[in-house]
Amino acid sequence: QVQLVESGGGLAQAGDSLRLSCAASGLTFSMYTMGWFRQAPGKARELVARISRAGSAGFYADSVKGRFTISRDNARNTVYLQMNSLKPEDTAVYYCAANLRYPSDPGEYDYWGQGTQVTVSS
């Protein structure tokens, strides 16, 4: 069975940093594009960042570019999202997802984690 399990969310103040982790099992991790998505109250789910299978290509939403960094460790079947200079508008549930290609549409992703809450206060 394929499982993606996020961790590392919690409470933070504006300007703080958090590091999210997503541990994958039940799949050949190195064959999958990994993405981080978030969904805030009253808003649609949006792509935050994605990383290619070998980690050589990445994408960031304009709202997080320069503040967030996505990385992966294929030996540990884990993808990370380092979030620096957090803002209140970063508050959302964050999800990791996997796909065999390199899509930006969340509907194209095959597997999803359960999500981890990130709350940023001012």
Cα–Cα dist 39/95, whole Å: 8
% of residues, the chain, pLDDT over 70? 100
Residues in the chain with pLDDT values less than 70: none
What would the 3-class secondary structure string for 37-94 be?
A: EEECCCCCCEEEEEECCCCCCEEECCCCCCCEEEEEECCCCEEEEEECCCCHHHCEEE
User: Which residues have CB under 8 Å from 91's CB, separation 6+?
Assistant: 40, 118, 119, 120
| pLDDT at site 103 | 81
User: What per-residue confidence (pLDDT) applies to 76?
Assistant: 97
Which of 73, 74, 42, 48 minimizes the C-alpha distance to 63?
A: 48
pLDDT for the residue 71: 98
